């Protein structure tokens, strides 16, 4: 049984429930503490963790800093290229890595990931191609579910 070489996560709809709040400082997101704890555990156990997101928001950068995640691909319109670049940087084949996304924009990266994953409330087209589908929705424990699966050695 192998474990994934890189674990990359979309942000909106995966680490969040997909909603954006707008205020005087611009858009912001809300993050689940349990998902964050799972990401910290992954990092502490030697896994390479990255975020790949269409948006580049201050709230995402703050959350990444809080979790100690330094590999950020934000403002990304080509998630497949970002995922390939990330895997190349880490010296790991995308076919040995995990990408978790929730919407159609994530499909190209999901198709090259060896472990394509999505939250329970992902778009139907995404759910159809993902090998791993969590029971929890995005922003409400889906990432923690993946972290627990990886840490338990449950990926084959």
Which residue is associated with the tokens 């709040």?
21
How far apart, in whole angstroms, are the C-alpha atoms of residue 61 and residue 80?
21
State whether CATH 3.40.50.1000 applies to domain 7-151: yes
> Does 18 have pLDDT greater than 90?
no
Mean pLDDT, rounded, for 6-26:
90
Report the pLDDT value the prediction gives residue 84, as an integer from 0 to 100: 96
Contacts within 8 Å (CB) and 24+ apart, 35-38:
35/139, 35/141, 35/142, 35/143, 35/144, 35/147, 36/63, 36/66, 36/67, 37/144, 38/143, 38/144, 38/145, 38/146, 38/147, 38/148
Report the pLDDT value the prediction gives residue 1, as an integer from 0 to 100: 35
Q: Encode pLDDT of 88-147 as tens digits.
A: 999 999 999 999 999 999 999 999 999 999 999 999 999 999 999 999 999 999 999 999
Report the pLDDT value the prediction gives residue 154, as an integer from 0 to 100: 83
Q: Identify which has the larger pLDDT, 120 or 156.
A: 120
How far apart, in whole angstroms, are the C-alpha atoms of residue 34 and residue 122?
19
Shortest CA distance to 141 belongs to which of 107, 95, 94, 100?
100
The per-residue DSSP string of 10-59 comes to -STTTTS-S--EEETTEEE----HHHHHHHHHHHHTT-EEEEEES---HH
Report the pLDDT value the prediction gives residue 28, as an integer from 0 to 100: 82
Tell me, what DSSP letter sits at residue 7? Answer: E
Residues 6 or more apart whose Cβ sits within 8 Å of residue 40: 67, 68
Domain ranges of the chain: 7-151
Q: Encode pLDDT of 27-85 as tens digits.
A: 888 899 999 999 999 999 999 999 999 999 888 999 999 999 999 999 999 999 999 99
Report the pLDDT value the prediction gives residue 3, as an integer from 0 to 100: 67
Report the pLDDT value the prediction gives residue 156, as an integer from 0 to 100: 60
């Amino acid at each position: 049984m192998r474990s994934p070489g890189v674990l990359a996560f979309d942000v909106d709809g995966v680490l969040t429930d997909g909603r954006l709040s707008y205020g005087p400082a611009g858009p912001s997101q809300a993050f689940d503490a349990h998902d964050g704890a799972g990401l910290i555990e992954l990092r502490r156990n030697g896994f390479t963790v990255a975020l790949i997101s269409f948006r580049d928001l201050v709230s995402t950068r703050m959350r990444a800093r809080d979790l100690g995640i330094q590999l950020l691909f934000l403002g990304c319109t080509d998630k497949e290229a970002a995922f390939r670049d990330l895997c190349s940087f880490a010296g790991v084949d995308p076919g040995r890595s995990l990408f978790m996304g929730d919407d159609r924009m994530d499909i190209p990266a999901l198709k090259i990931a060896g472990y394509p994953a999505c939250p329970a409330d992902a778009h139907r087209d995404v759910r159809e191609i993902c090998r791993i589908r969590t029971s929890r929705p995005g922003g409400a424990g889906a990432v923690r579910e993946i972290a627990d699966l990886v840490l338990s050695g449950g990926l084959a």
